[in-house]
Amino acid sequence: MLNELETLSRNIGRLIAINERQQQARHALEEQLAQLRKESEAAHAELALLREERNALQAERDALFAKIDDAQVRLNAILEKLPRAKGPYDSDNQLDLLASQQEQSAAQHGEDA
């Protein structure tokens, strides 16, 4: 009977030790879970800020596109009002200009040689 009581006492001691280890592990996991929840909340808050910033940048981009379009319309209106005079860089004279540049380049290469 005494042996049985000793065995029972050892088993109870082991169960208590196991229970304590499980409680410690549970507490550690609860602390880890709380930390992960805090990190998750911080990440969600940062994500919300980044979304707001993205939306603000998109609105700014759209406003700039609208300004560019408006400026393009104004520029086209101004260009339409200007008289059409042929200058040295008009399309009719571009081939002549290109030919003269090639002749000058060939002459320079001939002098260098």
Specify whether the backbone of 111 is left (phi greater than 0), alpha (psi in -120 to 50) or beta: alpha
Q: How many domains does the chain have?
A: 1
In a domain, 87, yes or no: no
In a domain, 91, yes or no: no
Confidence tier at 94 by pLDDT (50, 70, 90): low
In a domain, 6, yes or no: yes
- CA dist 36 and 30 (Å) reads 10
What's the pLDDT tens digit per position in 74-88?
Answer: 999 999 998 887 665
Domain membership of residue 75 as a residue range: 2-81
Confidence (pLDDT) at 107: 63
In a domain, 36, yes or no: yes
In a domain, 45, yes or no: yes
Task: Give me the mean pLDDT over the 52-63 stretch.
Answer: 98
Mean pLDDT of the chain: 87
